[in-house]
Structure 1
């Protein structure tokens, strides 16, 4: 509980210091620079996330296509096997 109080005190103190810094032109410049760097960082992270997301989407689509092809091949093989078994049964009964 004591740690939480100190944490909240530090956050509140940071807001107060930032408010006073923002009033001074040099402080305002520093805060604007920090804000620009944070924005640049978050933009880079967002771009990297979108790039990875598109890569995964491509991999999933490739896997989906391969699975569909495998299912189609399995159906064809099962159909061929059923036809062969049916043909064999017909020959045995004749």
Structure 2
């Protein structure tokens, strides 16, 4: 239970620090760049999943 409490405290502090950093121009640029990279990664994972699913479906239908 003690570890969970520290986790919650750490997350809360992290959010507070991120909010303060986001108020600066450099912070906004950093988080904008981070958001773009995360979205690109998510799209790449989704594309790979759909491609692999199509491959598996065609292999199943071909049998």
TM-score tier by shorter-chain length is: over 0.9
Unaligned stretches of 5+ residues in structure 2: none
Give 1:23 deviation, angstroms: 0.7
Instruction: Tell me which residue corresponds to 1:20.
Output: 20
Larger RCO (CA under 8 A, 6+ residues apart): 2
Instruction: Tell me which residue corresponds to 2:44.
Output: 44
Unaligned stretches of 5+ residues in structure 1: 64-94
Instruction: State how far apart, in whole Å, the 2-side matches of 1:32 and 1:15 are.
Output: 16
**Could you state the TM-score of these two structures normalised by the residue count of structure 1?**
0.64
Question: Which contiguous aligned blocks of 4+ residues in structure 1 show a shift greater than 4 angstroms?
Answer: none
Instruction: State how far apart, in whole Å, the 2-side matches of 1:22 and 1:16 are.
Output: 10
* Number of residue-to-residue matches in the alignment: 63
Q: Which has the larger radius of gyration?
A: 1
